[in-house]
Structure 1
Amino acid sequence: MPVASKEISPTLTVSPTNPLWVLGVTAYRSASRMALAVELRNPEDSPPWMTEGATLALEGKKGVTLKVLPVWQDVSIAPGGAQFVLVEAEAIAQEARGTFTLRVRDAGRTGTVAIGGVTFP
């Protein structure tokens, strides 16, 4: 099966209290995996941000989460800088249906970026 992709930024809900700004999100789906390319910007007055992990939870279904693989991030996001963080999860097509909330946490556990309204093609 080929990889399907979809730009989902316009349909997302992002909290104004997130420690980073969400610049854009593209969703990908294959036969057995899903992925999100999330572009994040770190505010000028914030410490560097390094992602430690992420969760993908089905909205409206308490406790239903996908198995997220280790998050890929090349280097810390410097103050005032922007970078992509790649989140990949194992899921068959039936599990990819619905609307999810993505939570990305930093290595220092000082903050979490929450993004609602995540859907996959």
Structure 2
Amino acid sequence: MDDGNEDRDRDKKRKKGWRKSSRIDHTYYDFSTRELNSADEQKGRVTFPMKLHGIVSNPAYRHIICWMPHGRSWKILDKELLASVVCKKYFNHDNFDSFNRSVNGWGFKVRKEEISLA
């Protein structure tokens, strides 16, 4: 006579396996004090994040894109100027959607709302 123990054991194994494979790492890494790898710069490997950091840090573009006060994220102030001025100069296109795809492709997270910690 089967009392259902076999089915329960099988269901437990399925649930356990599912939990293990669905873990997502949301660890925050602070790279603000990390030095740029000069070997990468010498080899001509200028990645999208390196270009983006230079753009956001450039005072000439402060009215287009800027660092948030806490320094851990940045904000786009003018999409049209970003596309027509910045993207055209640094990425050889004037398409904001293409810039946005690059941002997403490099794993940057989008924040729709601003939270004031004051």
Shorter-chain TM-score above 0.5: no
Interval of TM-score (by shorter of Structure 1 and Structure 2): under 0.3
Larger strand proportion, structure 1 or 2? Answer: 1
TM-score (norm 1): 0.23
Looking at CA atoms only, which structure, 1 or 2, has the larger radius of gyration? 2
